[in-house]
Structure 1
């Protein structure tokens, strides 16, 4: 009997599923997962089904004979075209193997200790490893970020991720590192649609590149000299993935920053070598300034239309005449074209400056330094569109040494002495994105970081080594035309001789004392004591 004030507990009726229905639900759930896995891995499923069928029909010979034939075809394929063999055969297989054996085993620990794991509803949430693709030197990990993360979170711990997986170098891409191929032929339209799907923008994905084997340790031999240089793709260096890095020189200025003995000469001479075909045909004019008295460039003197190495007056005149060329082209091309197209009648003028700080910061003549700075400012701000380009190298990239550093669109960072200098050369945040130019080993002469076209992430490259014998041979085979200096009528000489400076008598100076105190002392000395 229930009376007023008694506590009554009301429990809802519990609905209990029958056991057969629970088992059926679990079976259907796992069957759906298996089907989804098979759809995502059709190659593995096809190979497994083929292996079972062959073993059932022919026993062990049915497995061994296809393996031997596949190995022979793979070896022949690699011998004939190793690049495509890595891209379509070895790369996916090795990447899948390393994804299962290497990365998945340490994934949770690495993400947690590197600070990339999050917590939601009291449960850990990790970035998802979607795919690993390998080549001769790199592992490219495709990672889906946790909701709320940005690529900057991964870029800040790039070094931690590299060492977490037992590597020394790593980079993080916020966009797909590969570029869509150019399709031609009957299937171009269909393949173009497929590429549009494959290379579509995926903001939730980030690409972690780990350097498995340092392909930049061997010295890079000089590249072949093209008969007609392609100013949008001049081959200068080898990339970490064993590809070729090409410089887009047309309508840009190039800044090369690096400490002493870091390989700036390799960059400059690689550029000169790639332009050699255009130099001898008259398509390119090199105006070279070498403030070190010709120690770097005098060996290649026949290649240059203009050359100044001893007189700072001559260097200032060369820059002034480059401004004259720029002004003449602006007047002639205004309203006709927006970007100059080099021709033999109207060639590309490339002003190459070694040790630029000697002209902008260390020159003692203040008036001459201001004159040089004014000419450089005009060339850097207005010369790219009319085909008067500046390629400059220096050791110290600070603002007080190079006040117009931001006017160089293309920048290359070789070995530097301080971590802050990396961002000064390549831009803010470049070091956090993997450009460790301040940690170059001793052997890394000519190794540097460049910014890829269309992406803010740096790539590590090694520029080709051009020996003294190569330079002499280059100067002999590809000399500049005899009239290369006469681009304008008023440019009729190659250098300005050092002006005669009469020695002026220096006035005798006494001690650094005030005039009143010196008068008192002189008076005291003249009076008898």
Structure 2
């Protein structure tokens, strides 16, 4: 009997299973997990099966002989083509080894202490480590984020993750899908289906790059001078993964920010060296401004079509003449093309400015400074499309020093003195995404951060080191043509004249006022509107 107010405890009826059924369920569960693991790791399963069969057929010799032959083939492969050896053999094997014995052992602890775990339904949920790819210098960890996470959360703790795995440098990026290649022929339908899987968007994945060996510690030798420079891919630096970083110079302006002795000269001279073949052929014209009296660029004077290093009046005249070339090309190319294509008859003009702050902020002559600022504003806002480009270097990227900083689409950040300057050079949030340009060590001259194509996250690179002897040899081997300074003569060429007789515009007959206003005027004047 129960009465009002009595406490009743109701428990669901427990279903008791026999022990043999529980054991069978656990066995099936383990078998299912083993099957899934075998499907995900077919190479390991195949090697184990092949090794077991060889041992059963030939004994120990069945294992030793294939290992010796595989070692010899691997050694020859590395000797002949080390890059493909790392891509197809050493990289996957080393990545699997480090995934099992390095990262998985510390994964739970690292994710928890770095604040990347979540709690759902009273249970901890953490990002999943899917794969590790390795090369000579880097480990690239493919991570599936917890539902609701963003790559920015990983970028904020990049330094913590690097030290959690026993390294000093790491960066995080999220891959954007590229455009699949066009497919034609009999297999186009099958290859197109494969491309849809390969190039699909996977926003739940994030990639953690752990620098195992800093490949940027060694000095980068100058790259070979191409006979015809590819203006969309000029090799200037080495990346952390030992590949080349190339600059897309065509139709863009470049800003280089870095403190004193950070290696801005390495960037500028690497660019000049990559353009040297086009300079000697007449495809490229370099107009150089060196406010330091020529201390940086005077050694390479034969390479330059125009040079100003002592007189600020001459520097202002050079910029005004660049604006004149810009205006002439606008008049000539308007309605024909949208982007200028450099030719020897109509070359690319690159205005190189070292220590730009000397022209925009520190120049005492106010009128001359305004004149220079006006010319630079026009060049930066309108010159990219007509082949008049600006490459500028400066130490202080603040707005009052460089008021048109946002007009530089391409930016390079070398060693800087303050954390806030990193975002001023590379854009808002660049430092949180891994561009620690304010923490450059002393040896890192010429080391900087750039934005890779297809990803908004910055990457570390080291620009090639160009010595004084290299500059002298470059100037002797690739001088500019004798008529390189006469590009202004092109301004006088004939262009399409404006039409003198235009058809008259049709004019509507009758009064131009609305009927309501006409009625008011008629009522007021008592007649026709005036």
Structure 2 length-normalised TM? 0.89
* Matched position secondary structure for 1:275: helix
Q: How does 1:469-488 map to 2 (within 5 A)?
A: 469-488=469-488
The separation in 2 between residues aligned to 1:188 and 1:81, in whole angstroms, is 31
CA displacement at 1:184 relative to structure 2: 10
The separation in 2 between residues aligned to 1:435 and 1:184, in whole angstroms, is 42
CA displacement at 1:284 relative to structure 2: 0.2
CA displacement at 1:16 relative to structure 2: 2.7
Q: Deviations over 1:403-443 (max 9, x none)?
A: 00000000000011111111110011111111111111111
**Partner of residue 144, structure 1:** 144
Runs of 4+ in structure 1 over 4 Å off: 2-14, 176-193
Q: How does 1:23-34 map to 2 (within 5 A)?
A: 23-34=23-34
Alignment partner of 1:417 is 2:421: no
* Matched position secondary structure for 1:482: coil
C-alpha spacing 1:422/1:484, structure 2 compared with 1 (3 Å): same
* Matched position secondary structure for 1:487: helix
The separation in 1 between residues aligned to 2:431 and 2:368, in whole angstroms, is 36
**Partner of residue 74, structure 1:** 74
Conserved? CA contact 2:138–2:210, under 8 Å: yes
Q: Deviations over 1:274-302 (max 9, x none)?
A: 00000000000000000000000000000
RMSD: 2.2
The separation in 2 between residues aligned to 1:483 and 1:349, in whole angstroms, is 14
**Partner of residue 360, structure 1:** 360
* Matched position secondary structure for 1:116: coil
The separation in 2 between residues aligned to 1:7 and 1:122, in whole angstroms, is 28
* Matched position secondary structure for 2:261: coil
CA displacement at 1:7 relative to structure 2: 9.3
How many residue pairs end up in the alignment?
491
The separation in 1 between residues aligned to 2:147 and 2:8, in whole angstroms, is 46
C-alpha spacing 1:12/1:254, structure 2 compared with 1 (3 Å): closer
* Matched position secondary structure for 2:129: strand
Q: How does 1:442-457 map to 2 (within 5 A)?
A: 442-457=442-457
CA displacement at 1:187 relative to structure 2: 7.1
* Matched position secondary structure for 2:336: coil
Q: How does 1:207-246 map to 2 (within 5 A)?
A: 207-246=207-246
Conserved? CA contact 1:321–1:491, under 8 Å: no
C-alpha spacing 1:333/1:148, structure 2 compared with 1 (3 Å): same
Conserved? CA contact 1:291–1:358, under 8 Å: yes
CA displacement at 1:454 relative to structure 2: 2.0
C-alpha spacing 1:143/1:403, structure 2 compared with 1 (3 Å): same
The separation in 1 between residues aligned to 2:153 and 2:91, in whole angstroms, is 28
Deviates more, 1:247-256 or 1:105-114: 105-114
C-alpha spacing 1:299/1:401, structure 2 compared with 1 (3 Å): same
C-alpha spacing 1:357/1:9, structure 2 compared with 1 (3 Å): closer
Conserved? CA contact 1:253–1:409, under 8 Å: yes
* Matched position secondary structure for 2:36: helix
Q: Deviations over 1:101-120 (max 9, x none)?
A: 11111111111111111111
Conserved? CA contact 2:259–2:416, under 8 Å: yes
* Matched position secondary structure for 1:489: helix
**Partner of residue 252, structure 1:** 252
CA displacement at 1:174 relative to structure 2: 1.4
The separation in 2 between residues aligned to 1:87 and 1:310, in whole angstroms, is 52
Alignment partner of 1:53 is 2:42: no
The separation in 1 between residues aligned to 2:222 and 2:177, in whole angstroms, is 26
**Partner of residue 340, structure 2:** 340
The separation in 2 between residues aligned to 1:278 and 1:86, in whole angstroms, is 35
**Partner of residue 275, structure 2:** 275
Q: Deviations over 1:302-333 (max 9, x none)?
A: 00000000000000000000001011101111
**Partner of residue 63, structure 2:** 63
The separation in 1 between residues aligned to 2:335 and 2:490, in whole angstroms, is 25
The separation in 1 between residues aligned to 2:101 and 2:332, in whole angstroms, is 65
The separation in 2 between residues aligned to 1:113 and 1:166, in whole angstroms, is 14
Conserved? CA contact 2:176–2:454, under 8 Å: no
CA displacement at 1:201 relative to structure 2: 1.3
CA displacement at 1:453 relative to structure 2: 1.3
**Partner of residue 41, structure 1:** 41
CA displacement at 1:24 relative to structure 2: 2.0
The separation in 1 between residues aligned to 2:151 and 2:268, in whole angstroms, is 34
**Partner of residue 385, structure 1:** 385
**Partner of residue 526, structure 1:** none
Give unpaired runs (5+ residues) of structure 1: 493-529
* Matched position secondary structure for 2:229: coil
Q: Deviations over 1:13-70 (max 9, x none)?
A: 5433233322222222111111111000000000010111111111111001000011
The separation in 2 between residues aligned to 1:184 and 1:263, in whole angstroms, is 47
The separation in 2 between residues aligned to 1:60 and 1:273, in whole angstroms, is 58
The separation in 1 between residues aligned to 2:485 and 2:217, in whole angstroms, is 40
* Matched position secondary structure for 2:344: coil
**Partner of residue 496, structure 2:** none
**Partner of residue 285, structure 1:** 285
The separation in 2 between residues aligned to 1:459 and 1:8, in whole angstroms, is 65
The separation in 2 between residues aligned to 1:18 and 1:164, in whole angstroms, is 46
Conserved? CA contact 1:176–1:207, under 8 Å: no
C-alpha spacing 1:8/1:222, structure 2 compared with 1 (3 Å): closer
The separation in 1 between residues aligned to 2:394 and 2:2, in whole angstroms, is 97
**Partner of residue 464, structure 2:** 464
CA displacement at 1:485 relative to structure 2: 1.1
The separation in 1 between residues aligned to 2:455 and 2:351, in whole angstroms, is 27
